[in-house]
A and B are shown apart, each in its own frame.
Chain A
Amino acid sequence: MDMKSFDTRFRIIRIKKIIRENDVTNTYIFDYPLFAKPGQFVMVWIPGVDEKPMSVAFSDGREFWITVCKVGGFSSSMHELKVGDKIGIRGPFGTHYEIGNGQKIVLVAGGYGVAPMYFAAHEAVSAGCNVDFLMGARNKDLLIYTHKILGLGVNLQIATDDGSVGVKGYITKILEEVLGKSKVDKVFTCGPEVMMKAVGEISFAKKVSCYISVEKYMKCGIGVCGQCAIDDTGDLVCKKGPVMSWDYLRKLPEVGQYHRDAQGKKQYFFKKTI
């Protein structure tokens, strides 16, 4: 055992640049060789505030990015930070999207899942893959990363709930069309769990292997606290995930149904009707 690798104390780094993506979303750029792969996460510590897991939006061995939407206390604190401010990081942790050379890959991103999917698209293009990027959002104002994605030269299709840009409706409709048209090697998805479940089911019906990024409440991120254990195998999402195959997930009772809060209590995505 290389005991040195067991040091999971923070590395303190400074924010190099902040990019405004939309009214509620920023991308933070750090000069730090994280060596993360698409789908992996880092634990981000704002000293004196809190520490949360964040998907890596880009990493090239020189710098890395995280994209943060203002949704709660922690992300609001993140938005108050300025260039030059210090944060702590641990990681990268977890599994990643496995991208083979020259494959036909469909990426389905919902909401802020676009950021890690951009990273996957970047790596897939480098590996000579043919990439369809399907992006879903509530409306035009909430879209992020569109120019960066177009810059990769991938086939981008957009669906919005209100039709303010792209097709009106759910992104899953476009996925069905794409999977119906040509042979696809893999589907990768990141976004709200209920959307990812639909993506998993559609891919399964078309016999295409699908990998989703499971989001659970995490505390330690290093396989000890048990907070992110998934029912009913008890596997830890921070270790065996966050990227897990739909083949595995589809048999579990938890996926698309509930998650657990900080006290370990079940919280259902939809209110139970009984």
Chain B
Amino acid sequence: MTNLSVKFCGVKFKNPTVLASGILGVTASSLKNVVRCGAGGVTTKSIWLNENAGHKNPTMFGTEHYFLNAVGLSDAGIEKAVSETFPEYLKKKPAPIIASIVAANIDDFGRLAEEITKCKPDIIEVNIACPNVEDKHGKPFSCVAGDSAKVTKIVRARTKKPIIIKLTPNVYNIGEIASACADSGADGFCAINTLYGMEIDINVRMPILANKSGGVSGPGIKPVAVKAVYDIYKATKLPIIGTGGIMTGEDAIGMMMAGARLVGIGTMVYYRGAEGFGEVVSEMENWCAKNGVKNIEEIIGCAH
């Protein structure tokens, strides 16, 4: 039997799979269901300081190769996290929970870091990478090393919880941005957020998504994610949640070899359902058994 448990920023996960932010994360009961299905941990949908409406439909669709979404980070705000989501989840807490936070300016990130700490998440994920809010708020902070460092610094100053920074792949040198965050007090990373994308419906001659552009995820983006994780690992050696295009246990193993300690899984749910978490974990177990891996932590970064 392989030991699949992993320590990440001092938090123990029973297996390396973590629900990625923005998928099935609206309510505590939904998060708990994902853990029942086999996930080692969960990430909430990104939480704002105040209510955020999000975009109109169509917000998502899939194809055999990729998935495109522009939900627009709809959320009821920190108040719901404080009064409902966290208290409900922490009652008989089934697995570690990562709180994803998002804000349109640096000061709000600071206030949010303080507020979310009171909710007692295990880890705080700072989402400075979502492509679906750019028209309102300018380009994501994680496109520029200096901006990424500023956000990291203010969040670091306002919480003692481990903080990981969610990075965008839509940059020339992700290693450089990760290093700037590491120097400003980041404990780790989650990479990657979605890629910029758009799809036109040729019969009505307009973009399918109401927001016109959105974020690409799913099977097709896996090599982009693996390369980003490889580069961040090389640049910082900090723990990484490697996410993007993970559909199977073998995909997850490859991501860990590139340098991920945990593997974020989101769009897989479209193809295999929430039950897919349990299946991915058994596929990882089988691969390890066949290849003589006793302890999953052995393979982290072994491709370097």
Contact = CB atoms under 8 A, between A and B. Distances in A.
A231 to B, nearest CB: 5
Chain A, interface SS category: loop
Contacts of B57: 43, 45, 50-52, 219
A251 interface: no
B58 interface: yes
A264 B74 contact: yes
B203 to A, nearest CB: 4
Contact of A47 (B24, B32, B65, B206): B206
B134 interface: no
Interface in B46-71: 51-54, 56-65, 67, 69, 71
Given A12-B203, A234-B29, A4 B273 contact: no
A264 B51 CA distance: 10
Contacts of B26: 225-227, 229, 260, 264
Nearest to B60: A220
Query: How many interface residues does chain B have, given as a range?
Result: 35 or more
Interface string A27-53: 000000000000000010101101110
Find the residue from A43, A50, A261, A263 having the highest chain B CB count within 10 A: A263
Contacts of A52: 57
B203 A86 contact: yes
A96 interface: no
A9 B208 contact: yes
A50 B246 CA distance: 31
Interface stretch (B5-13, B227-235, B263-271): B263-271
A223 B267 CA distance: 10
Contacts of B88: 232
A264 B75 contact: yes
Contacts of A265: 51, 76, 80
Nearest to A220: B60
Contacts of B59: 219-220, 225
A10 interface: yes
Contacts of A229: 24, 26-27, 29-30, 33
B151 interface: no
Given A224-B270, A226-B23, A226-B26, A263 B64 contact: no
B270 A223 contact: yes
A143 to B, nearest CB: 31
Contact of A12 (B51, B76, B84, B201): B201
B45 to A, nearest CB: 7
A222 interface: yes
Contacts of A163: none
A261 B9 CA distance: 35
Contacts of A232: 29, 88
Contacts of B199: 9
A1 interface: yes
A6 interface: yes
Nearest to B64: A3
B257 to A, nearest CB: 24
Contacts of B58: 10, 43, 45, 51
A48 B207 CA distance: 9
Given A86-B204, A260-B26, A264-B76, 4 more contacts: A223-B273, A224-B269, A225-B24, A263-B74
14 contacts: A9-B61, A9-B63, A9-B208, A47-B206, A51-B58, A88-B204, A220-B61, A222-B62, A224-B270, A225-B22, A225-B23, A225-B69, A229-B24, A229-B30
Interface of B: 22-27, 29-34, 36, 45, 51-54, 56-65, 67, 69, 71, 74-77, 80, 84, 88, 199, 201, 203-204, 206, 208, 210, 267, 269-271, 273-274
The 3 closest A-B pairs by CB, nearest first: A234-B33, A51-B57, A3-B64
